[in-house]
Amino acid sequence: MTVLCVRFRSASGADDLVLPELLGLLEEFTPVVEGLPPDAALADLRGAERYFGRDAVELAALIRVRALARYGVDCSVGAGPGPMLARMALRQARPGAVCAVPEGPGAGAEFLAGLPVVALPGVGAATARTLCEYGLDTLGRVAVAPPATLQRLVGVKIARELRERAGGVDRGRVVPNAVSRSVGAERSFGTDELDPARHRRALLADAEELGARLRRTELVCRSLTLTVRYADRSTTVRGRTLAEPTAHSADLTRAAYGMYEALGLQRARVRTLALRAEGLTPAGEAAHQLTFDPVDEKARRIEEVADLARAKFGPRAVMPGTLAA
């Protein structure tokens, strides 16, 4: 293992406030650190393993101890030979623990084999649904599927990348000081929340926050990920590729509502609803399909004016009536 994916969790929940200090802590072990706001980071430990004479799992334990002692922040850590596998391992890690992909030839594919296909980064709900309709519901089955079959289902390029990743081939790398490729927003409830109306209100607030942040930094996102955390600390993660790259809050809200409704939650005891905009690109490089719908054009113009008002009078100067109530 050479890469760690570390998620920081403070008791107060103010993870973004200590993230710069925690990135500095990782840089004590390696200069190759990539922040994943608001609460995670990737660290390439290839040089650190030789320098400290310890493997990645031992260094992860040391990082956890120092983060807890200095900042009162505990960590969950995933370790793997590359960024993708490290992230997948982090999803399997218990709170405050380290989960490592086993070493050896074929170990990555074996680690991924039993996971649902939707768990793979970059696989949205539509792609997962198409694969599951043909019995390719786990990454192990995708990895051994005939290339021609995958190409007919999802296209040549996606099929090649999907088969490689499902087989444990991780060609990614940690890019130090890279511009974040995602931004997130989350809303937590003080108690177990069962009311779907309040769930939707939290999703609306998340989408409005994401849209405002993207427009302020002149970025658009290609996909959206919904994370639902329940009272028993279990989580459900769903992703959706957007019809076109966007920073329009209404589009983000519709996608968030669609993923939420698809979960079919009934009397679920929800603690946190989080949205993450991924696949960020400069807004100037993205194409927008023009329509003859005056409602859409009017909504976008109102959004521009609302952004100007928020910039001058604060983030709560203009907001949807549901949130104002």
pLDDT along the chain (325 residues), means of 10: 82 52 87 82 90 90 90 88 91 86 85 88 81 89 90 88 88 75 82 89 91 87 90 84 89 93 86 88 75 74 82 77 72
- Give the Å distances, CA to CA, from 304 to 211, 246, 308, 324: 11, 14, 7, 19
Whether residue 52 contacts residue 42, with contact meaning beta carbons closer than 8 Å, is answered with no
Q: pLDDT at position 180, please? A: 57
What is the distance in angstroms between the CA of the first residue and the CA of the last residue of the chain?
50
| pLDDT in the model for residue 16 | 46
Rounded Cα distance, 85 and 101, in Å: 7
Q: Are 19 and 33 in contact (CB under 8 A)?
A: no
Give the residue from 196, 259, 262, 197 showing the smallest Cα distance to 224.
259
Could you say which DSSP state residue 11 is in?
T
Q: What is the pLDDT of residue 204?
A: 92
135 CB contacts (<8 Å, ≥6 apart)?
A: 141
- Angle formed by the axes of helices 15-27 and 56-71, nearest 10°: 130
pTM: 0.58
Angle at 204 between CA 203 and CA 206, to 5 degrees: 65
Question: Which pLDDT score is estimated for 12?
Answer: 47
Alpha carbon distance 147, 159 (integer Å):
7
Here the tokens at position 115 are 């996971």
Tally Cβ neighbours within 10 Å of residue 284: 8
Predicted local confidence at residue 36, as pLDDT: 78
Alpha helices in 226-293 (DSSP H): 249-263
d(CA 225, CA 203): 12
